[in-house]
């Protein structure tokens, strides 16, 4: 049962605003945390249903600023790989615990950040890693599954894209395109699973302004923040979200 009181707006409003900033400006890495925060004021089972239409609104608002600035090859790899992952998530949603996947993705995300820091500081005498196309298909399947069960597809997608030599705008535009497609596909099995109700629809209407404001702020921040700082923020978000996923998986 949703109660649209002051506490609801104090918690849910900033959470949705943060999702807009993250998705529209910094590669979606931490946007999934909004669903976790929403669970403080919304029944956990409804939190995913509340967030998906809002994420779709953020996607639609973000497409125009990044239109055709994405890496088509990398987007295609992750999307094609993600389709079976989404299908698996839909099939196993009611019976499979996502904790193992949270631990896996969290571990990869945190490990990747430490690996990049080690390279930058010269601790590891290795050349820069570039994941292969085949790895992109596999990571896409993991992205599809995790985005279905917890809206947490940002970290694995970022781990792949950050090795592909993209500029900050290519990276951002590619994530916008990927999750726009994924969220549109997810809508139909979510509806079939009964994750949308009259109350979630009301919550969507009330929280839509926070989503749009966050999107606007995220696009502005993307163009103002220098490229080196942008990727630094992205790595920080990966570290934070990866750690959060590990914590969720263990607890």
Residue 211: the pLDDT is: 95
Residue 102: the pLDDT is: 73
Element (H, E) at 44: helix 44-63
Nearest to residue 144, comparing CAs of 187, 201, 186?
186
Residue 190: the pLDDT is: 93
Residue 35: the pLDDT is: 76
212-240 pLDDT per residue, tens: 999 999 999 888 888 788 778 878 877 88
Per-domain residue ranges of the chain: 6-250
42-83 pLDDT per residue, tens: 776 688 889 999 999 999 999 999 999 999 999 999 999 999
CA distance 96 to 74: 29
Kindly state the average pLDDT of the residues 154-166.
Answer: 88
What b/e readout covers 61-77, taking b as 16+ CB neighbours within 10 angstroms?
Answer: bbeebbeeebbeebbbb
Q: Which residue has the tokens 């923020």?
A: 233
Residue 31: the pLDDT is: 74
pTM > 0.75:
yes
Residue 41: the pLDDT is: 74
């Amino acid at each position: 049962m949703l109660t649209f009181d002051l506490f609801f707006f104090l918690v849910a409003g900033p959470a949705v605003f943060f999702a807009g900033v993250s998705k529209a400006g910094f590669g979606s890495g931490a946007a999934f945390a909004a669903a976790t925060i929403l669970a403080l004021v919304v029944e956990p089972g409804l939190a995913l249903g509340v967030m998906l239409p809002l994420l779709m609104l953020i996607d639609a608002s973000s497409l125009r600023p990044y239109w055709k600035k994405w890496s088509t090859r990398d987007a295609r790899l992750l999307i094609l790989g993600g389709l079976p992952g989404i299908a698996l998530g839909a099939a196993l949603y009611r019976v499979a615990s996502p904790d193992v996947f949270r631990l896996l993705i969290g571990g990869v995300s945190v490990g990747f950040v430490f690996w990049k820091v080690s390279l930058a500081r010269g601790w590891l005498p290795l050349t820069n890693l570039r994941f292969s196309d085949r790895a992109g298909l596999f990571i896409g399947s993991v992205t599809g599954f995790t985005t279905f069960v917890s809206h947490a597809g940002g970290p694995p997608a970022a781990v792949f894209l950050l090795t592909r030599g993209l500029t900050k705008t290519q990276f951002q535009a590619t994530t916008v395109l990927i999750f726009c497609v994924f969220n549109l596909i997810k809508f139909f099995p979510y509806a079939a699973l009964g994750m949308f109700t009259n109350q979630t629809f009301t919550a969507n209407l009330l929280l839509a302004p926070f989503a749009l404001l966050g999107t606007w702020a995220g696009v502005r921040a993307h163009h103002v923040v220098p490229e080196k700082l942008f990727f630094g923020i992205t790595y920080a978000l990966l570290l934070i979200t990866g750690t959060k996923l590990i914590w969720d998986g263990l607890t």
